[in-house]
Structure 1
Amino acid sequence: MQSIPTIDISPLRDAEHPDRANVVKQIHEACTDIGFLSIVGTGVSQETVDDMRACVRAIFAVPEARKWDQAITRGNYRGFIPFGFFSPNDGSGTADKYEGYKLHQEVAATDPVVTDCALYGPNRWPAEVPEARDRVLAYWSQLDEVALLLLGALAEALDLPPRTFQDAFATPMTNMTLLHYPPQAPDEPGFGIHPHKDTDALTIIAPDPVGGLEVQTRDGGWITPDCPPGGFVVNIGDMLELWSGGRLVSTPHRVVNHSGKERYSFPYFAVPRHDVVVTPLLTPLPGFDRPSVHCGHWSAETWRTNWPDEVANEDTPELGTLHS
């Protein structure tokens, strides 16, 4: 049975730290084995996480009618995602049992990058939670720093030039989803979020104390990350798997909330700049054969195919697909 290690990443901040090389090695081993790890020593305080969780609770406590006024649209994939709105992108199965609030990279509406890619721009922020914008963006900024540390360590572990991954995240398409999962009855079919692989480069999440996140092992079993208080769960997404030629592993995971309690989470999805083309930087491992992916096109297709009446076509990347 595979396991998910907990790693103190604080030595990554000091190039001369005696434990730095060992930490890089541990991160590499976890990301090539199960593709998940728990991290501590991030510099993000528990108070910051607690404040963020309180903000997320407040956003979902907004009256239902006002949530719908702030709902996502085909032309603006930002704002409220109603409960049961989306099914898996391949159109199979029942709708996932969550409600969400989608946030994309925040830039001014007048920024030239908005013309190049509509997923940049100002977000919708609920007026009923006036602290939301500042609190979320401050948290987001701290996770940007954590992501860059991890990306640098992974480039080093793969013997790539030091800033290979980091340089792809100038004006990135990094995004966040705020999530609320009502409790599921023990015999209730379906999932909070169905089994899937993340289609980004790297995901960072402060796990909710009620639990519910499950990670698939190579033998088909499911395990729960044992993340200590103040820690974060990190997983490799399909883009880093592709960049590494299959060495870094994007692993299926799911959410099932049988806790009997409300579950709240706020994953951070690190995505490169819109014009980056992700292609293997190392000779692909035997059997690993994936096409290169244009980040802007991939992202647009990901959101487009979320709509129940939209389907993937020959131009839709296969990232995130669970292959049998």
Structure 2
Amino acid sequence: MQSIPTIDISPLKDTAHPDHDATVQRILDACTDIGFLSITGTGVSPDTVNQVRAKTREIFDIDEQSKWDQAITRNNYRGYIPMGFFTPNDGSGKADKYEGYKLHFEVSEDHPVRDDCALYGPNLWPAEVPGAQDVILEYWSQLDHVAELLLGALEIGLGLTPNVLKAAFATPMTNMTLLHYPPQASDEEGFGIHPHKDTDALTIIAPDPVGGLEVQTRDGGWITPDCPPGGFVVNIGDMLELWSGGQLKSTPHRVVNKSGKERYSFPYFAVPRHNVVVEPLLPPLPGFDRPSVHCGHWSAEIWRTNWPDENATVDTPELGTLSS
């Protein structure tokens, strides 16, 4: 059975560290095997994580009408995501049992990138939760640094040109989703989030002590990441799988909250800038055949097809799909 290793990534901060190369190899091994790892040594303090968790709870404690006033729209996929809004994109299964609050890479109204891609812009920061913007953006900035360390390690481990991955994340489409999962009854069908693969490059998440995240092994079983206090769970998304020609593994995972407690989560999704085209940088593994992906088009299609009355077309990237 596959397992999810825990790796101290602090040696990545110094290429002369005696454990640097071994750490790179351990990360590569995890990402080519199960596609998940738990990491420590990030430099992100537990207090910072606790502050984000507290602000996330406060955002979901806002009264219902105010949350709906801040809801996502077709023209601005930022803000509140109502409970039960999403179902699997193939139309199967019950609605997911969570409510969310969507945040994208923060730019001002007059930022020049908005002339090239309408998906950029300022976020909706709830006035009812003072300090949320500062707390979350500081955490976001720290995870940007963690993502850069991991991308650098994968460049080395895969033998890629230095900075070929990291350079793709200048003015990125990186985003976060704040999530609230009410408890499900022990006999209740459905999922907090249905089994899926992430369509980004890299996901970083501070696990909620309540638990509920499950990862699929190659034999079809499900396991729970063993992440120590203060650590983070990281997983490969479809974009890094595509960049690596299939060597890095984007693995299905799901959330089931039958703990009897409220669960809060705030995953960070690393996505390249809008005009990056993701295609294999290495010879694809036998049988790996996926089309290249334009990040701006991909993101627009992800947000568009999340609406219950919208469907994928022949121009929709195939990332994120699960094999039957």
Measured against the shorter chain, the TM-score band is over 0.9
| Aligned-partner Cα distance in 2 for 1:323–1:137 | 36
| Aligned-partner Cα distance in 2 for 1:250–1:174 | 17
1:288 aligns to what SS in structure 2? coil
| Aligned-partner Cα distance in 1 for 2:117–2:165 | 21
| Aligned-partner Cα distance in 1 for 2:137–2:257 | 27
Alignment of 1:165 onto 2:195: no
| Aligned-partner Cα distance in 2 for 1:89–1:30 | 28
**Per-residue Cα deviation, 1:78-130 (whole angstroms, up to 9, x for no partner):** 00000001111222211100000000110001011112112211000000001
Which amino acid in the other structure matches residue 266 of structure 1? F
The correspondence of residues 109-258 of structure 1 with structure 2, limited to 5 A, is 109-258=109-258
4+ aligned runs moved over 2 Å, structure 1: none
**Per-residue Cα deviation, 1:184-208 (whole angstroms, up to 9, x for no partner):** 0011010000000000000000000
Determine the structure 2 residue equivalent to 1:84: 84
RMSD: 0.5
| Aligned-partner Cα distance in 1 for 2:26–2:106 | 33
| Aligned-partner Cα distance in 2 for 1:233–1:310 | 32
Identity %, equivalent residues: 79
1:179 aligns to what SS in structure 2? strand
1:7 aligns to what SS in structure 2? strand
Which amino acid in the other structure matches residue 230 of structure 1? G
Check whether the contact 1:105–1:119 (CA below 8 A) recurs between aligned residues.
no
TM-score by length of 1: 0.99
1:144 aligns to what SS in structure 2? helix
**Per-residue Cα deviation, 1:220-270 (whole angstroms, up to 9, x for no partner):** 000000000000000000000000000000000000000000000000000
| Aligned-partner Cα distance in 1 for 2:243–2:276 | 11
| Aligned-partner Cα distance in 1 for 2:227–2:56 | 20
Determine the structure 2 residue equivalent to 1:276: 276
Unaligned runs of 5+ in 1: none
Which amino acid in the other structure matches residue 103 of structure 2? L
Give the count of matched residue pairs.
324
2:92 aligns to what SS in structure 1? coil
Determine the structure 2 residue equivalent to 1:97: 97
Determine the structure 2 residue equivalent to 1:45: 45
| Aligned-partner Cα distance in 1 for 2:162–2:282 | 15
Alignment of 1:289 onto 2:289: yes
2:59 aligns to what SS in structure 1? helix
1:177 aligns to what SS in structure 2? strand
Which amino acid in the other structure matches residue 29 of structure 2? E
